[in-house]
Amino acid sequence: MITDGELIGFLSDGEFHSGEEIGLQLGVSRTAIWKRLKKLSSLGLKVDSIKGCGYRLSQKLELLDKGLIESYLSGNIKAAINDLYIESVTDSTNNYLLERPKDNQTPSAANICLAEHQSGGRGRRGRQWMSPYGSNLYLSLDWQFEGGIAALEGLSLAVGVVVVRSLSALGIVGVSLKWPNDILIDGAKLGGILIDVKGDHAGPCRIVVGVGVNINMSRQDVDIDQSWIDLKSICADISRNKLAAYMIDELIKLLASYEMKGFQPYVAEWQRLDAFNGKLVDVISGEQKISGICCGIANNGALIIDIDGVKKRMHGGELSLRLSNES
């Protein structure tokens, strides 16, 4: 019995392959191939079928490659990785790491999970994260801190800064940040950050940092209730493997020094990247809505809103930020 991942890997070149060829290469019957092909639409993949030519994916895929990713990593970063997992399908890369035992992990080493597809990808406030197979970047990294949750103030904002650095290293310009964890280009969402924390307020704690970036999304097959953008629509093809490696490099450097340095080294850079600074915004918490002028962030990462001349600091949790003219 073949897996979806094996079949997709065979078809990832975007060329036509006959059912007989696929069956011979993968060691299964043509009927089994046909049944498996019918299931690929649930992963966000479109299969073209032409009599006399065979089957192909509607677009070529660059699948994740552990060896290739590791070849792009610097030596000191490789030494800081416990394990690098690449999954064909998982419910979410954050959950994958949260559910793994931590017995042998040291505070200065990371476990990393990347996936081709997330069946239950999560965004902020429980929203679904759209995850078509082999098209975008779904990356999670876990780390242990000894100083407790209190030492993690502003971390999601600092992650946003290093995500922008990773994109800039590949020549992607015009990226901005929306408090507290959205990555934007031209006001449209390119990606997001989700951090899960487990542990003690003052003692050892474990975090999982999840980053999702839209690389190649089909507008016909994706239902998203906000303005979004992907990298393919604004630049030449971007290697998913190279972007994953650059992201891992930056995240490990951030986490390795964060307990000692905190958010302070990232404040000025985040302010420069702030997409909403000086704009009229609505801050929504449950049924309540507060309107004011966005004045950037405080040194601890709190959002500063000017409400009729009074500056108020607002923290994360269930807050949602949007421009006042957005629906």
For residue 188, the model assigns a pLDDT of: 92
Q: Which strand (E) or helix (H) includes residue 242?
A: helix 240-261
Cα–Cα nearest to 254, from 69, 86, 77, 85: 77
Residue 105 has a pLDDT of 56
CA 109 to chain centre: 20
How far is Cα 158 from Cα 262, in angstroms, rounded to an integer?
9
Phi–psi pair at 211, nearest 5 degrees? -130, 130
* Distances in whole angstroms, Cα of residue 173 to Cα of each of 79, 214, 231, 232: 30, 15, 11, 13
- Nearest partner of 144 among 99, 209, 190, judged by Cα: 209
Give the angle 159-161-165 at the CA atoms, nearest 5°: 115
- The torsion defined by the Cα of 78, 81, 87 and 89, in degrees rounded to 10, comes to -130
Give me the amino acid identity at 107.
P
Q: Which amino acid is at 53?
A: C
- Are 112 and 140 in contact by the 8 Å Cβ rule? The answer is yes
β-pairing, 175-178 with 137-145?
unpaired
Do 211 and 142 meet the contact criterion of CB atoms below 8 Å apart? no
The reply to whether 124 belongs to the active site is yes
The pLDDT assigned to 293 comes to 94
C-alpha dihedral, 69 to 250 to 116 to 236, nearest 10°: -80
Question: Which residues are paired to 115 by β-bridges?
Answer: 87
pLDDT at 220: 47
Contact 159, 191 (CB under 8 A): no
CA distance 191 to 211: 7
Q: How many CB atoms lie within 10 A of CB 270?
A: 20
Contact assessment for residue 304 and residue 295, using Cβ atoms and an 8 Å cutoff: yes
Single-letter amino acid code for the residue at 93: T
**DSSP secondary structure letter of residue 59:** S
Instruction: Examine the residue annotation and report whether 240 is marked as an active-site residue of this protein.
Output: no
Distance CA 225, CA 180 (A): 19
Each residue's pLDDT, cut to its tens digit, for the chain (327 residues) gives 678 888 888 888 888 888 888 878 888 887 788 778 877 877 878 888 888 888 888 888 899 999 999 999 988 899 899 999 999 999 999 999 998 876 555 666 899 999 999 887 554 454 555 577 888 999 999 998 887 787 788 999 999 999 999 999 999 999 999 999 999 999 999 999 999 988 777 778 889 999 999 998 765 455 555 788 999 888 767 899 999 999 999 999 999 999 889 999 999 999 999 999 999 999 887 788 889 999 999 999 999 999 999 999 988 766 678 887 765
Which residues, including other chains, have CB under 8 Å from residue 220's CB and lie 6 or more apart?
A: none
Output the CA torsion sign for 156, 157, 162, 167.
Answer: positive
Judged by DSSP in three states, 112 sits in strand
Known catalytic residue at 36: no
DSSP 260-311: HHTTGGGHHHHHHHBSSTTSEEEEEETTEEEEEEEEEE-TTS-EEEEETTEE
Catalytic residue among 124, 127, 165, 206: 124
The helix (H) or strand (E) run that includes residue 118 is strand 110-118
